[in-house]
Amino acid sequence: MLKIEHIGIAVKNIEQSNDLFAKLFGKPPYKMEKVESESVSTSFFMLGENKIELLEATHSESSIAKFIEKKGEGIHHIAFDVKDIVAEMKRLKEEGFILLSEEPKQGADNKLICFLHPKGTNGVLIELCQEII
């Protein structure tokens, strides 16, 4: 893993949260995007080399909606940048980690993504991200 790519925060209302975080960070999000496959709307804030991703459910059955229902708004996942997501998925599976998908998926912000089950990562949802070239 190369670096922390972003920290994902689950929110109930992305517009209100964008206003809140824009005030906190002193600047607006640089990108907003819907990811239909994950049933989320996202927005990204850049802070130096670090990114914060806000995630709002677009469907009541999405993982973000279920997360907020169970735990409330807050940190949802930590994403790590990887050079070769397929190789990293293979390595982590061989190490005994549980992948939430067998193949990388198209994610937000021009990334291929895969999540690791939090049961194997001390309760932290981990996302792997590879830039699509």
What pLDDT, on a 0 to 100 scale, did the predictor assign at position 50? 93
Is the pLDDT confidence value at 117 over 90? Answer: yes
Taking the model in full, what pTM does it have?
0.93
How confident is the model over 30-73, as pLDDT tens digits? 999 999 989 999 999 999 999 999 999 999 999 999 999 999 99
**Residue pair 111/128 in contact by the 8 Å Cβ criterion:** no
What pLDDT, on a 0 to 100 scale, did the predictor assign at position 113? 97
Is the pLDDT confidence value at 1 over 90? Answer: no
Which residues, listed in sequence order, are joined to residue 83 by a DSSP beta bridge?
none
What pLDDT, on a 0 to 100 scale, did the predictor assign at position 133? 83
Does residue 133 or residue 46 have the better pLDDT?
46
Percent of the chain at pLDDT exceeding 70: 100
Is the pLDDT confidence value at 75 over 90? Answer: yes
Q: Output the average pLDDT for the chain.
A: 96
49 half-sphere exposure, CB direction, 13 A CA radius: 6
What pLDDT, on a 0 to 100 scale, did the predictor assign at position 24? 97
SS3 sequence of 63-128: HHHHHHHHHCCEEEEEEEECCCHHHHHHHHHHCCCCECCCCCEECCCCEEEEEECHHHCCCCCEEE
79 half-sphere exposure, CB direction, 13 A CA radius: 24
**Residue pair 72/82 in contact by the 8 Å Cβ criterion:** no
